[in-house]
Amino acid sequence: METKELIQKLRGSDLESWMLVQRAYKTHAHDEDIMECGFNQMTGYVYIALENGISIASCFGQDVEYLTYDFDTGEEAFFNAYQEAYDNL
């Protein structure tokens, strides 16, 4: 999703989530390539998916979470810290 399109879809706390996700990316992963940015309307998560397999996400303006996804099992794991997610890869 293009950034302009993403921002136009966000309202209220979703915009706050977008700002939180951007700050977390800048702080913890600024040297990682971005695969995509998006907004999941079903879950309310705003996210940045990184090429290294970690997604930085927030919903409803809440604290950022770091997710990893196991393509073999289909399981997602949620972490409170970027380094924890990185170590789980």
Q: What is the mean pLDDT of the chain?
A: 92
Q: Name residue 45's beta-bridge partners.
A: 59
Tens of pLDDT, residue by residue over 43-59, are 999 999 999 999 999 99
Tens of pLDDT, residue by residue over 24-42, are 999 999 999 999 999 998 9
Which residue type does 45 have? Y
- Tell me how far CA of residue 1 lies from CA of 6, 46, 70, 74, in angstroms: 6, 12, 23, 23
Q: Name residue 47's beta-bridge partners.
A: 38, 57
Q: State yes or no: pLDDT of 22 exceeds 90.
A: yes
Residue written as tokens 């770091």?
Answer: 66
- Burial-class residue 12 by CB neighbours within 10 Å (0-12, 13-18, 19+): exposed
Calculate Rg over the CA atoms of the chain. 12
Q: State yes or no: pLDDT of 87 exceeds 80.
A: yes
